[in-house]
Structures are given as structure tokens and as C-alpha cells.
Amino acid sequence: MFQETVTILESRQIADNVHTLAFASEQIAGATRPGQFLNIKPNSSLDPLLRRAYSVHRIEGDRVEIIYNVVGKGSAIFASKRPGDPLDVLGPLGVPFHYEGEYATAILVSGGVGIAPMPVLGAALELLGKRVINIHGARTAGMIANDGRLIDPRFATDDGSLGFRGNVVGALEHYLEQEGDSDLRVFACGPNRMLSALGGFCTARGIALEVSLECQMACGIGICQGCPVEMGTGDRKYTLICTHGPNYDFRDIILDSLPSVH
Amino acid sequence: MPSTEITIRNVTFRNPVLTASGTFGYGLECEAFLDVAQLGGVVTKSISRKPRDGNPPQRIAETTAGMLNSIGLANVGVDVFLQSKLPLLRERGATTIVNIAASSIEEYCEVLEMCEEHEGVSGYEINVSCPNVKDGGLNFGTHCPSVAQITRELRRRTDKMLAIKLTPNVTSIGEFARACEAEGADAVSCVNTFIGMAVDVRTRRPKIATITGGYSGPAIKPIALAKVYEARKAVRIPIIGIGGIMSAEDAIEFMIVGASLVQVGTALFIDPAAGVKIARGIEKYLVEQKIDSVRDLIGSLDTSMQPSLVAAGWS
């Protein structure tokens, strides 16, 4: 992990309330693995005080990109950044997705800005020779955050304005009925409610599910102990999402122990 | 070069900047960013007799120029600390101050006695003031006879540096500092977090699970400075100043008011190397101001004249 003041290359809005920010860093681009995150200071002010944690969305050469919703003081500052502005970035952080192993198809399920880790994960899975399918959901077509980087995308919208009408769990069920795929794993990122519903579905069908959790963090490196998730297995009651996660086998955690983020 | 060393009892700190307990893990998590031997010292996370899980989420919330925490003394327990953390700190040349938390006087004594048997402990800081667990010390910390008794019992059991970490959530911190001094403490750490609270107005829920928590960060610095000033007037033993230190200038303020050492806490969550940077900043200030020793700063507050407008920020 590195702490680096980088230079912003691009800052833009790509969908309703969905923004991306790209910067150049050879060392962060080179070291980041699928599912890892960055902890970024909005500016050098004491208010907002803390860094903000974001998954790495894309890596191209030494260009690193994050994707986010504007939800508060920190993200509003990110949205006002312009190319050339400096950015204080700490990362890459966290344990990557556990995506190696014997299986044929990886289904990457994301909701809203839960799309964040999927392009980097998809690319790594293709290198391993896996078949990759993305199922991405949002409330309506205008909020779909796809920027053309998802491999084999299927969309789901609550209002049916794009793709499957319904949520991503319905879309996954629909896909499985159509394709009859069985040698698969699901990787998911999105609101806790979505992960919870998906977890129920996958558990009932015996499908392996790894979830990437979002939560408020202070340090991102294990020293503040501020980001616990309750464990359903093992001998520890809690692990820290920053250093033990953010990517967990769904069966290992008690998702309902977490406060909902949005 | 000016001297940056500070000695308390038999411990010489290479500079006056320590990491605050609970903000730097066990001192080993941040090795990618700094050499712990460059710090004045590492104060460990509070260590208890048995491992503690800590509080449920949500444990932290950001506030204006500050934050709330309610970690609940999550720690590995003294056995694991002594076996797997302390030897590594020693290997890396850290000056290690073990912070101890307990729910009874016997537990404080037991943890300290276990530490006494190991190499690599330079001294102790006793947490009598965690605001986040029912049995974690604040009940002791707000009851002066208890603080006095804990100090007395621990003093009998160690010749090492013994500092008592005081809570600011009392009417008179000077009274508590005097009790510690009278019972043989070598220093008092001022201050632990203030009790604070924040509410999400959309859900009307508290922003942290325990409703109230420990308030830290740059927002509390003026209040913490006033507490150090009060303690300085009450006792002659060294004071370890803590509260919202983000820069060398902040640290120097605490020393001028009367702190011999300072601890950096919340700043480490933003920059894990902040402690080392602040130590370097203090040294630079000493050079610029042509001050021979950092000790000359301690308690050098000049109250003979009205505050200058420049100092008040109207430059």
C-alpha cells in the first residue's frame, strides 16, 4: 500500500448522480488487485476530516478510476474536482476477491455504484479463462452506471426502462432458468438489502456467493477498528471490513449486523 | 541540532511525539508508512486481561472537524499481546508504553504484573477513562478515590514509568491529576475523549450504535488545551498532552501550555505517518526559533501580556 498525492486526469458525471474520477499512479495501478479499495481525502481541510473509501473501478495502464454517488459533503467535493487537481490517495487496501478455483462461469451481480469493482474483477476472471456475465441493476435506466466496460452485461431496472423488469435477484433467476448454468460462482456488490436478498437466493440454490461490502471507514488500514462486521463462523465475533474484507464468503458473515449504508 | 529528548522517570523519549492509544493498533499495522523507532514512543491499544470483541457497528461517525468513536476496547488480550505483538515492537526499536484497561483493580494489577515479566515494555499508561464500555474505566475515571487507589496499587507493583490517562468528563481534572501525583504516578495523560453525540435527522437515529461515544479530532483541541492548562496548575509531574493534534504547531501549543510529551491520535487515521511528520516539524520549529532544547518549551506560556492579534488569527 502507498500514500501518494496523485494528479486527477478526468472527473465526470456518467449517469444520474453517478460520477467517475480518474487519476494517474503507476504504483497504485500496478499493485491493485480485483476488489481492493482506496481511501481518499476529499481535500486538505479539517472538514471533512476523514478519508473516503472507494473500490477501484477501472485500471488502464497507470490510469486508475473510481465511481461514486454524491451523497454528502465528501463526495460533493470529489465531484467538483477538475483535471490537474491533486488528490491524496491511500491504497490499494483490503483483501482482493477470492476468485481463483475450479468453476466455469462467474456471474458478477451489482446494484447502483456496486458496479465499482466489477470491471477489474471481470478482466482478471477472463485471464483465468472463466466465462464472465454481469447482471447490473438500478432503479431506472438513467441511473444505470454502465460505461461500456462490463463484460456481457444484462441489465435490470425496477421500472423496466432497461432490460429485465425487476431486481437483480429476479434477473439472476431468469438467467439461470434460460441458461441452466450450474458450474458457477456469484460475486456481488451493492446495497446491503440487495446483498441480503441475493444471499438468501444463492444459499437456497447452493450457489457460492462472495460479497464486497461497503461501509463508513476512518483509517482503512486496521488502526481505528471502526468498521467491524459480525462473523457467523470462526472464533472471532467481528472482523474489520478494511483489513479482513471487504470481500467475504456470504456464509461467513452476518450481513444484518451492519447498518444500511443508503 | 536542538535536543528533542524528553525523560520521564527512567524512560528517554527521542522526541516528544507518541501515538495515542487506540489510534495506532499495536504499532505494527503502519510499517508501510513509517519506522516506529522514529516516533517518541508507541502507546498501544488498551490491553485487557482477556480478549475483547468490542462494540457492534456503527462504531464511528464523522462530525465537523472531528469524529465520534465507540470501539469498546476491542483488543487481543494481554497473552496474545505479549506473545505476538510486543516482541515485534521491541525488535523494531520502538519505545513502547503499554496502555492497560480493566474492569477491576485486580485486573489492572494482573495485566501490569504480566507485562512486568517481559522485555520491551518501557512504561505504562492506565486507561481509567474509556467512555465506551460500562465496565471499561470511566466509572473509575470519574471517581477520584478509585483513580487514587488504582495508581497506588500499580505504583507498588512497578518501577517503570506509570502514567494515568484522565478523562476530561469531570468537573475538575486538576483534582484527579493531584490524586495521581500524590499516589506516585510519574505523569498524567490529558485528555481522553470527550463524550459526544450525533444524530441522523432523516432516520432520527444516533449515528453510532452506543448512542454517545468518544469525541476526538481537531475540533476538541481548544478544550483539551484548557484541560492541560488546568492540570499544569494543579501538579508538578509531567503532563502528556492529547486532543486533536494535527500539526507540529498544535503539538507545540500543548507543550507551551505545559505538556512534556504529546500524543497524536485521530490525525493518524488520515495520515499514518503524522506522528513522525509532527516530530520533524517540532525540530524545524526549534531550529527556526533558535531554541536549544524542546524542554525549554514546556510550560513556557507567557500570560504577562494581552494575547496578540496575530496569535488570535487576525494576521
Q: How far is B162 from chain A (nearest CA, A)?
A: 24
Q: Which residue of A has its CA nearest to B202?
A: A262
Residue whose C-alpha cell is 523519549: B13
Which residues of chain B does A91 touch, with a Cβ-Cβ cutoff of 8 Å? none
Q: Which residue of A has its CA nearest to B218?
A: A46
- Among A5, A49, A192, the strongest candidate for a mutation testing the B interface, having the largest count of B CBs within 10 A, is A49
Q: How far is A255 from chain B (nearest CA, A)?
A: 11
A258 touches chain B (CB under 8 A): yes
Examine the pLDDT at A183 and tell me if it is beyond 80. yes
**Each residue of B185-209: pLDDT tens digit?**
999 999 999 999 999 999 999 999 9
The pLDDT value recorded for residue A146 is 77
**Each residue of B246-303: pLDDT tens digit?**
999 999 999 999 999 999 999 999 999 999 999 999 999 999 999 999 999 999 999 8
Q: Which of B130, B144, B180, B190 is catalytic?
A: B130
A229 touches chain B (CB under 8 A): yes
CB contact under 8 A, A238 and B272: no
Q: Is the dihedral of CA B14, B15, B16, B22 positive or negative?
A: negative
Q: Which residue of B has its CA nearest to A239?
A: B53
CB of A228 closer than 8 Å to CB of A238? yes
Q: Is the dihedral of CA A238, A241, A245, A247 positive or negative?
A: positive
Size of interface A-B (CB pairs under 8 A): 97
**Each residue of A77-99: pLDDT tens digit?**
999 999 999 999 999 999 999 99
- Among A41, A43, A50, the strongest candidate for a mutation testing the B interface, having the largest count of B CBs within 10 A, is A50
A216 touches chain B (CB under 8 A): yes
Clarify whether B180 is annotated catalytic. Answer: no
Q: Which residue of A has its CA nearest to B266?
A: A224
pLDDT band at A262 (very low <50, low <70, confident <90, very high): very low
Residues 6+ apart with CB under 8 A from A164: A154, A155, A156, A157, A170, A171, A174
Please report the DSSP string for B236-289 in residue order.
Answer: SS-EEEES---SHHHHHHHHHHTEEEEEE-THHHH-TTHHHHHHHHHHHHHHHT
Mean of the pLDDT values across residues B92-109? 95
Residues 6+ apart with CB under 8 A from B312: none
CB contact under 8 A, A3 and B218: no
What span, in angstroms and rounded, lies between the C-alpha atoms of A24 and A7? 6
**Each residue of A208-219: pLDDT tens digit?**
999 999 999 999
Q: Which residue of B has its CA nearest to A41?
A: B270
CB contact under 8 A, A228 and B266: no
**Each residue of A15-42: pLDDT tens digit?**
989 999 999 999 999 999 999 999 999 9
Question: What part of A 125-184 touches B (C-beta under 8 Å)?
Answer: none
Closest by Cα among B187, B191, B192 to B238: B187
The pLDDT value recorded for residue B240 is 98
The pLDDT value recorded for residue A182 is 82
**Each residue of B33-87: pLDDT tens digit?**
999 999 999 999 999 999 999 999 999 999 999 999 999 999 999 999 999 999 9
CB contact under 8 A, A3 and B33: yes
The pLDDT value recorded for residue B305 is 72
- Residue A166 exposed, middle or buried by CB count within 10 Å (0-12, 13-18, 19+): middle
A41 touches chain B (CB under 8 A): yes
Q: How far is B182 from chain A (nearest CA, A)?
A: 34
Examine the pLDDT at A138 and tell me if it is beyond 60. yes
CB contact under 8 A, A225 and B66: no
A262 touches chain B (CB under 8 A): no
The pLDDT value recorded for residue A235 is 84
Which residues of chain B does A229 touch, with a Cβ-Cβ cutoff of 8 Å? 57
pLDDT band at A260 (very low <50, low <70, confident <90, very high): low
- Among B39, B200, B270, B271, the strongest candidate for a mutation testing the A interface, having the largest count of A CBs within 10 A, is B270
The pLDDT value recorded for residue B314 is 59
CB contact under 8 A, A49 and B54: no
Which residues of chain B does A226 touch, with a Cβ-Cβ cutoff of 8 Å? 59-60, 69, 71
Considering chain A, what is the average pLDDT of its residues? Answer: 95
Q: How far is B251 from chain A (nearest CA, A)?
A: 16
B289, β-bridge pairs: none
The pLDDT value recorded for residue A179 is 85
CB contact under 8 A, B74 and A225: yes
**Each residue of B139-178: pLDDT tens digit?**
789 999 999 999 999 999 999 999 999 999 999 999 999 9
The pLDDT value recorded for residue A261 is 55
Percent of chain A with pLDDT over 70: 99
ipTM: 0.94
CB contact under 8 A, B246 and A238: no
CB contact under 8 A, B30 and A50: no
CB of A219 closer than 8 Å to CB of B19? no
The pLDDT value recorded for residue A234 is 84
What span, in angstroms and rounded, lies between the C-alpha atoms of B54 and A228? 9
The pLDDT value recorded for residue B140 is 86
CB contact under 8 A, A49 and B23: no
